[in-house]
Amino acid sequence: KNIIFNGSMVDKSTVHIDIEDRGYQFGDGIYEVIRIYNGKLFTADEHLERLIKSATAIEINIPYSIKEIKNLLIKLINENNVTMGIVYIQVSRGVSPRKHSFTTIHTAPVFIAYTSELKIPKDSLSCGVSAITIEDIRWLRCDIKSLNLLPNVLAKQKAVAENCFEAIQYRDDTVTEGSSSNVWIVKEGVIKTHPANNFILNGITRQVILSICKELGIKTIEEKFTTDELLNADEVFLTGTTTEVMPIIVINNHKISTGIPGPVTKNIQSLFTLKIE
Catalytic residue ranges: 145
- Round to whole Å and give the CA distance between 87 and 36: 7
- Round to whole Å and give the CA distance between 37 and 237: 21
Query: Smaller CB distance to ligand PDD: residue 33 or 271?
Result: 33
Number of residues located near ligand PDD, criterion CB under 6 A: 15
Pick from 67, 75, 61: nearest CA to 9: 75
CB of 33 within 8 A of CB of 88?
Answer: yes
Q: By rule CB under 6 A, what string of x and - marks binding of each residue 6-45 to ligand PDD?
A: ---------------------------x------------
Pick from 151, 154, 153, 167: nearest CA to 252: 167
Q: Shortest approach of ligand PDD to residue 211 CB, angstroms?
A: 13
CA distances from 199 to 59, 96, 141, 182, 243 (A): 20, 31, 6, 11, 20
Interface with ligand PDD includes 96 (CB under 6 A)?
A: no
Stretch that binds ligand PDD, among 1-9, 55-63, 175-183, 211-219 (CB under 6 A): 175-183
Interface with ligand PDD includes 203 (CB under 6 A)?
A: yes
Query: Smaller CB distance to ligand PDD: residue 151 or 262?
Result: 151
Out of 92, 182, 193, 269, which residue is the one contacting ligand PDD (CB under 6 A)?
182
Query: Smaller CB distance to ligand PDD: residue 9 or 212?
Result: 212
Q: Shortest approach of ligand PDD to residue 35 CB, angstroms?
A: 8
Out of 109, 128, 240, 247, which residue is the one contacting ligand PDD (CB under 6 A)?
240
Q: Shortest approach of ligand PDD to residue 101 CB, angstroms?
A: 27
Interface with ligand PDD includes 174 (CB under 6 A)?
A: no
Q: Shortest approach of ligand PDD to residue 114 CB, angstroms?
A: 13
Query: Smaller CB distance to ligand PDD: residue 96 or 180?
Result: 180
Interface with ligand PDD includes 85 (CB under 6 A)?
A: no
Query: Smaller CB distance to ligand PDD: residue 54 or 180?
Result: 180
Q: Shortest approach of ligand PDD to residue 23 CB, angstroms?
A: 15
Residues that bind ligand PDD (CB under 6 A): 33, 152, 177, 180-182, 201, 203-206, 239-242
